Structure 1
Amino acid sequence: MSPLTMIQTGLSIFASKRRLAALLLALSVLQWAGGGANADEATPLRPIDTTSPRATLHGFVKAMSEGYANGIGVLQSYQDSPRLYFSQEELAVMRDSFNMVDDAERTLDLSELPQATVRETSRGLAIQLKEILDRMSIPPSELIPDAQTMSSAEFKRWTLPDSEIRIARVEKGPRAGEYLFSPETVRRIPEFYQKIKDMPYKPGASAGWYDFASYSPSGVALVLRRVVPTRWVLEMAEGSRPVFLDQPLWRWFGILLVLSAGLAVVSLCFRLSSRWARKKTTTAGRWAHLLQPLSLVIVMPVVTSIFAEVLRVSGVVYQIMSLSLWGLFFLALTWAVWVAGGAVAESIIAHERLRTGSIDSQLIRIALRLVTIVLAIAILVTGADRLGLPAYSVLAGLGIGGLAVALAAQETLANLLGSLIIMFEKPFVIGHWVKVNNIEGNVEDVGFRSTRIRTFYDSVVTIPSSKIVGSTVDNLGLRKFRRVKTVLNLTYDTSAEKMESFVEGVKRIIATHPETRKDKIEVVFNNFGPSSLDILVYFFLKVPDWSAELNQQQGIFIDILRLADAIGVRFAFPTQTLHIVTDETH
């Protein structure tokens, strides 16, 4: 018996609308019951011949018709039996039927469809195309060009008479050279179906296939097939057949239920993340925040899969929901990479026990941030490609957007580059005593935009990094020795012998001090001042900071005071002697 005869026989047997609906439901459910062997065990991997428009068209019609017809006998057996579930043999035959439908889908050029929705969309498009062809007059085989005819044809395409359905040769990509239903035809299949769906079927048609596949709870039956019989699922769905936006009411209830469950899971993860972050340290808190984007990364594909495989949402509603959910998935994945980059940086800083605000810590942060930026761009470009947006358009948009940001934030970028120069060249580090222009103090923080210096009167001065790079920086914190220069003023009644003894004594005090530089000591009587004899004292201390410098300097000065007492010299202070000459004759 031919496939067309089998379909006609099956439809006549199941003339009852309720019985036919039950069988179509079971047929749709079993598409997803699992993989199976091809009907021809000897060639289970043989694809449909797509070497010419004739081969492609006949291969598509044959695969769809046989896939539909091979299940009729199994459905009749199941419907007439008292059994609640399909037998293993029946499942094997049905798996084989739907393998044929999968093969038929490969005759469609799906290259221009969004990759995120192509699996579910291709199934509906194949069934719609079969319904269209079931209502049209297909020309005899000899009028459809074969491979030999197309080899000499000027245009490598063929259009079905009285239609815009076109089979064209693929010119590039992994399927180059094959004749497939063109991307334009695939895109317009729903439009063609709407125009022709009210026309009568031709003999041997797969009557009502698309309507049932679109509105029946076949996916729900799949999930519950081991628990709830297919007959019962059909009966429960009978009361919710009214359609809103091309979706039955039972499906809208399912969509609301799935979205509510997904929202509840995401909301719970957000709350747990915030609670853990408050209880943990800074590093652990960053890892706790990672739970928020990860919840979206996990939930979005699950919800999308349920919409496609269980609820079988179709049409524009499916396109909008699926693309929106996948778009949210890629944004959440970008967010997760960004948070993970910061968490990794803080973990490295904590492991190496670096100061949080040190330049090394900042370098680690900026290096991880650059890595996350590259990964984020890669994720966004990949996501845009899967959503049907050309990668070059996304890259061009990012480039134009980056240029606009760069022009609008020139000063900010200059400061960022200045910070990078400071971090790599390290003219100073946190804690160094520096002098920039007229600002002097200790470096407190080096950020991505500015450097903060705490002055000696305890204020904090924030200097843009670009200005620091363009200024002269005197790093007093890098000094190996700290200079001490002072002048000792002795009174004019100091004798030469005492002056000489005092100068030599001061030299000895400085030279024997453990923290002084021995090759740079200058103690000399160098000036007759207005009110004193001046001794220049010039030497260097080897100390780590200003506080130590003051302490060591104090010790040396106290020793000098003791030396002055021992020798008997006195320190002068500014005085003036006024001599008044009087004329005794007056």
Structure 2
Amino acid sequence: MSGVPVASARQDRLALILIRIVALIAALALAGLLPFPQQSHAQEMANWAGIWDTKWRGAGAEITFEQTGAEVKGVYPLYNGRIEAKAEGRNLVGRWFEGDRQGAFVFVQSPDGESFMGRFESATAEWWTGVRVSAVEDIGVDQTSPMTTMRSFLQTMNESGADNVPRATGGGMGLAARAAGLIDVTDADRGDLNMPDYTKLLFNVIDNATIRLWSLPRDASTGDEVSAKLQQHDTDVSFEVTFRRRQGEWFIVGPPLGLLRAKLAEFQAARGEAVDWVDDPAKLASPRDTFKVLLSGVTEAGNTAQAALNLRDYNPAVRADEAFLLERYLKKVIDRIGYVYWQEIPDDPKSNTPYTYFEHPSGNIVVGPVETDKGKIWQFTPETLANIRTLYADVEDVPVAPEFAAFASNDPFFATRGLAREISPGLLTRAGPMERWQWWMLGLAVLAGIAFGFIANAVISFFAPSQNRSQRSAFLRVVEWAVRSIFLGLFLLVALRPLGLPQVVAAPAKAAAWSLIVIGAVPVVWHLIGRIAEHYRRMWPAPGYHDTLISLSTGVARVAVLVIAFLLLAEVLAIPYEGVIAGLGIGGLAVALAAQPTLQNFLSGLTLYADRPVSVGDFCKFGGQSGTIEHIGMRSTRIRSLDRTVISVPNSDFAGMQIENYAHRDRTRFATTLQLRYETTPDQLRYTLAELRKLLIAHPRVIDNPCHVRFVGFGPYSLDIEVSTYIMTADGSEFLAIREDILLSIINIMDDAGAQFAFPSQLEYSVADLPVDEEKRIAAEKRVSDWREAENLPFPDFSQRDKLTFNNTRAYPPQGSARYREMEPAPTSAEAMATREKLGWSLPWKKGTA
């Protein structure tokens, strides 16, 4: 047993080290939040040169700044505006000019130099913000032909987010300004709209048509003006767009404002849409919406494109991971096909014909209609998703379209795959459902998980008590296996995303990983709950009442751990437990009836805790049995009987029993009946009663009140004396010793009185043994005869007059008693005494005896 304190000390040391490590980490984290002295940037001049996408209340424009020292000049052609200012540290102070309008402003650049916030016309609190543009420079404008002009217009507006689906990083206003520069419209035709709003309206009209850019005029030798008809898919509505060449560059001729508004309403009416309908790609109402959701979901952080994929054939356990990879695969292939112009993709929500975007011997990219509970939506078909990996492998060497080169994603999977390709192209060869490099990396992940598990065990063993294997605690042995299981599962989970495993491998791998983690964590949490319970038990020297609550709480916590573990495993193993849970609502009555005993036992356990008829360690009597309470659990109560056996009683039965708790009594009752032989004389009986009373009064462990010693009656073979009192002890052993002392003293009293205890017997008497006293017989019969002659027989009862005469005429305590003189009031006068004597001899039945 000497190793137990050492083990406890080592465990306390381990806990102290862990606490110190956590405290150190917390201190470092806190230190990271504290301000550090920094060099002042007051003397550092910010760099304002470049293109900025700016906004103010209700509008915005792209500004191009040029900086020479502290002098900064800028232009924003969208409003024919210019800026003249001076840089002061991170501040830019100056004036803006738009024709004959001008005003003062102040901009303050952010510390990272990527944005600014400012004000102009400070009296009216107008704000002006901006962000540095990097994407606009990568999108060129080509006006060499009507086709290239339309392509540039659509590309800049698509990337600007004009259709609520931005695909570029910043530069929305700048891109819109570039698109506006491709329109040739007079002020009269533009009406009351500014140029940005007119450009957006023209784009909305063109966006409602389905365009084949290749069909637009491409020959630069055409005349200076040419027209093309843009048809709405599956309707009779069309829009005729005119191109005009000026100084060798082609522009889109802007129609009058009224014509544009009327055409937009006509387009929307043909689709059955309200005039003010706002495009919502998330509805997936057409193939165009599906492409918008896919490409915007891939390029925007935090947004998912999973809704655009028909994942009905994929295991729910890996559906989210597969969707993430499939989105990237589709985007990678589309990047190599070319820039996606929304206007080239059908937008008819009423069509039922699948739209084929790309065809290849390894697989096609197809968007098809899918019927759902909420109606018809359009998604990439399961066949497309099934073939996308093979398709990407075949087109991987095709260069990315120039428009996408700046935004090409570098996901962990493709980065890892690219590294494997650089090491050896042969690693990309397929071996079964996966490529060779994936098999190698999966094996390395398993080995790394196993290795790190053993390393973690070595660290734990270093801090744990240095004992041989047979002496090591069960908790540490559980922790060792749990750590190995958890590390292996974690390494598998971490490896799934960069490895990009197909679902045939990913589903069982993910299920195995989570199973290892859950199976490893449950025993540890189970033991931790037990150790926490033991810790709280040690906080109270005599747990008793608290032990009941601890036992119930421990049971509930462990059941909760098992339920959570089951739900987690059901989730990762794709077990449809939702239907079972939902079915509980329908079959709730049957489940309630089946679980009634268990629930009743649990509630009875709570009742035992709240009502506290007994606690752990109490000795009690229940249902004709006695024992000591050892445990009150969720289902049953365990009691150690006097025979040292363990009795297990369901809580519901135990709570319904009549329980006599001996542990809560403050004293112990002593009661016995002494049976004396009939040969005992009255004075012997009186002596015995007096000595017994003296014994109890004199005993230091017997209470004074109540304390009864009385002659109570004539038994079948004995004169019965009843002794009843309380011993001042609640301990059973001590009571037995005191009772023994009193009983031995009673034997001595009986011996001193010459009295003997009676025992069951039967005596036969003859006339010679007990002769009748003839004189007393004759005298008694004579008195009864006198009462009869006087008509005063007291049968069936005394007369009322006799009762009044007898009332309170007998002395008690009797004469000769020590308390007689204290209790009997003396007559107040000689006359009163004479009256009493006269009444005593004036009774009719007494006269006959004179």
TMscore range, shorter length: 0.5 to 0.7
1:2-13 correspondence runs (5 A):
none
1:135 CA displacement: 4.6
Indicate the residue corresponding to 2:328 in structure 1. Answer: 126
The answer for the alignment partner of 1:22 in structure 2 is none
Are 1:527 and 2:713 counterparts?
yes
Pick one of 607, 613, 616 that aligns with 1:421: 607
Aligned counterpart, 1:95: none
Go from structure 1 to structure 2 and tell me whether the alpha carbon gap of 1:393 and 1:538 turns closer, same or farther (over 3 Å shift). same
Give per-residue Cα distances to partners, 1:214-258, cap 9 Å, x unaligned: 99995388xxxxxxxx6xx65753454431234222431332232
- Please name the residue that 1:82 is paired with: none
1:110 to 306, 325, 342: 306
Matched, 1:504 2:700: no
- The counterpart of 1:347, out of the listed 529, 535, 539, is 535
Contact map agreement 1:442 1:455 (CA 8 A) in 2: yes
Query: How many angstroms apart in 1 are the aligned matches of 2:727 and 2:654?
Result: 29
Per-residue displacement from partner, 1:272-298 (whole Å, max 9, x unpaired)? 8999996366xxx44763454454444
User: Which structure shows the higher helix fraction?
Assistant: 1
Distance 2:739 2:645 in 1: 27
> Are 1:256 and 2:458 counterparts?
no
Unaligned runs of 5+ in 1: 1-35, 63-99, 173-181, 222-229
Q: Which has the larger radius of gyration?
A: 2
> Cα offset for 1:481?
2.9
Supply the distance in 1 between the matched residues of 2:691 and 2:683 (Cα, whole angstroms). 12
Q: Distance in 2 between matches of 1:512 and 1:543?
A: 17
Q: 1:306 aligns with which of 495, 505, 509?
A: 495
CA contact (8 A) 2:670 2:724 kept: yes
In 2: Cα distance, 1:276 partner to 1:407 partner: 51
Relative to its length, the structure with more strand (as a share) is 2
Q: 1:463 to 1:287 in 2, by over 3 A?
A: same
Tell me the residue number matched to 1:564: 750
Equivalent AA in structure 1 for residue 530 of structure 2:
G
Q: How many angstroms does 1:442 deviate by?
A: 3.5
Matched, 1:52 2:163: yes
Residue 94 (structure 1) aligns with: none
Check whether the contact 2:671–2:724 (CA below 8 A) recurs between aligned residues: yes
Distance 1:556 1:312 in 2: 90
Distance 1:394 1:483 in 2: 59
Aligned mates of 2:552, 2:500 — CA distance in 1: 46
CA separation in 2, counterparts of 1:554 and 1:144? 107
1:190 maps to which residue?
Answer: 385
Q: Which moved more, 1:157-166 or 1:247-256?
A: 157-166
Structure 1 residue 125 displacement after superposition = 2.5
Kindly indicate whether the alpha-carbon contact (under 8 Å) linking 1:434 and 1:475 is maintained by their aligned counterparts in 2. yes
Distance in 2 (CA, whole Å) between partners of 1:539 and 1:106 is 83
| Structural mapping, 1:161-180, within 5 Å | 164-165=366-367
Q: Look up the match of 1:485.
A: 671
Equivalent position SS for 2:306? coil
TM-fit CA distance, 1:523:
0.8
CA offset at residue 536 of structure 1?
Answer: 1.5
Q: CA deviation at 1:307?
A: 4.0
Mapped contact 2:511–2:573 kept (Cα < 8 A): yes
Q: Distance in 2 between matches of 1:490 and 1:101?
A: 105
- Is the Cα–Cα contact under 8 Å of residues 555 and 634 in structure 2 kept in the other structure? no
Counterpart-to-counterpart distance in 2, 1:37 and 1:439: 85
Which of these residues, 541, 550, 564, is aligned with residue 727 of structure 2? 541
What is the aligned counterpart of 1:513 among 699, 711, 727?
Answer: 699
Please give the alpha-carbon distance, in whole angstroms, between the structure 1 residues aligned to 2:479 and 2:589.
31
Relative contact order, higher structure (CA 8 A, sep 6+): 1
Aligned to 1:42: 132
Structure 1 counterpart of 2:621, from 435, 440, 444: 435
Supply the distance in 1 between the matched residues of 2:355 and 2:416 (Cα, whole angstroms): 34
Map 1:98-247; keep pairs closer than 5 Å: 103=299, 108-110=304-306, 118=320, 122-123=324-325, 125-132=327-334, 134-135=336-337, 142-143=343-344, 164-165=366-367, 184-185=379-380, 189-191=384-386, 193=388, 205=400, 218-219=415-416, 236-247=423-434
SS at match of 1:506: helix
The answer as to whether partners of 1:129 and 1:189 remain within 8 angstroms in 2 is no
Distance 1:417 1:188, change over 3 A: farther
CA deviations over 1:87-111 (Å, ceiling 9, x no partner): xxxxxxxxxxxxx997367675236
- Please report the RMSD computed on the Cα atoms of aligned residues, expressed in angstroms: 5.3
**Aligned-partner residue type, residue 52 of structure 1:** D
Deviation at 1:568, TM superposition (A): 3.6
Alpha carbons 2:677, 2:719 under 8 Å: kept: yes
Pairing of 1:380-419 with structure 2 (within 5 A)? 396=582, 407-419=593-605
1:555 positional shift: 0.9
Letter in 1 for 2:438: R
Say which SS state the counterpart of residue 721 (structure 2) adopts: strand
Question: Counterpart of 1:248 in structure 2: which amino acid?
Answer: E
**Contact kept in structure 2, 1:48 and 1:104, CA below 8 Å:** no
Gaps of 5+ in 2: 1-111, 115-129, 137-157, 172-295, 358-364, 769-850
- In the TM superposition, residue 429 of structure 1 has moved relative to its aligned partner by 2.3
Q: Secondary structure at the match of 1:165?
A: strand
How far is the alpha carbon of 1:318 from its aligned partner? Answer: 3.2
Determine the structure 2 residue equivalent to 1:366. Answer: 552
Task: Please give the alpha-carbon distance, in whole angstroms, between the structure 2 residues aligned to 1:201 and 1:241.
Answer: 12
| Offset of residue 535 of structure 1 | 1.6
CA distance in 2, matches of 1:520, 1:416: 43
**1:506 to partner: Cα distance:** 0.6
Closer, same or farther: CA 364–288 of 1 in aligned 2, 3 Å:
farther
Secondary structure, counterpart of 1:539 in structure 2: strand
Change (3 A) 1:110 1:37: farther
TM-superposed CA distance for 1:493, in Å, is 4.0
Deviation at 1:308, TM superposition (A): 2.9
Asked if 1:318 corresponds to 2:514, the answer is: no
What is the percentage of aligned positions where both structures have the same residue? 22
Instruction: Report the more deviating stretch, 452-461 or 153-162.
Output: 153-162
